[in-house]
Amino acid sequence: MAVLTVQQIGAPSTPTYALVTASDTVLADPSGLIYHIKNTSGSPTTVTFTDPGLTPSGSVATNPSFSCPATTGDRMYKLPNSLANSTGVITIGNSAPAAGVVCAVFRA
């Protein structure tokens, strides 16, 4: 499990990307966060966000997910603070961590 560093978008800068792991985490931010994944590997990957909430009837919530295609995949997802657990951590799962799959998190 890797803890991702939140990067500020502002003056021109070069973002830093990290290899994804099977389970990454990031601290929620009141300003909001944007998760960016790039996939140059030969296999698609599915990104799943753990939703710690419950439905109004008390059932486990559905975890939002999306697919990032192989070789030229490039996706962004706005992370709502509602995905944070009781300690303020958002958990991000990746189905196919590989050398060509990197991500970054930006403060909105």
Which pLDDT score is estimated for 1? 65
Structure tokens at 69: 């295609």
- CA 89-80-32 angle, to 5 degrees, is 85
- How far from 6 is each of 59, 65, 94, CA to CA, in Å? 31, 20, 18
Structure tokens at 104: 């970054």
Show pLDDT as tens, one digit a residue, over the chain (108 residues).
Answer: 689 999 998 878 889 999 999 999 999 999 999 999 999 999 999 999 999 988 788 888 899 999 999 999 999 999 999 999 999 999 999 998 889 999 999 997
- Full residue range of the structural domain in which residue 41 is found: 2-107
Task: Provide the domain count of the chain.
Answer: 1
Indicate whether this model's pTM tops 0.95: no
Backbone angles phi, psi at 35, to 5 degrees: -100, 130
Which pLDDT score is estimated for 56? 82
CATH number of the structural domain spanning residue 35: 2.60.120
How far does CA 60 lie from the centroid of its chain? 20
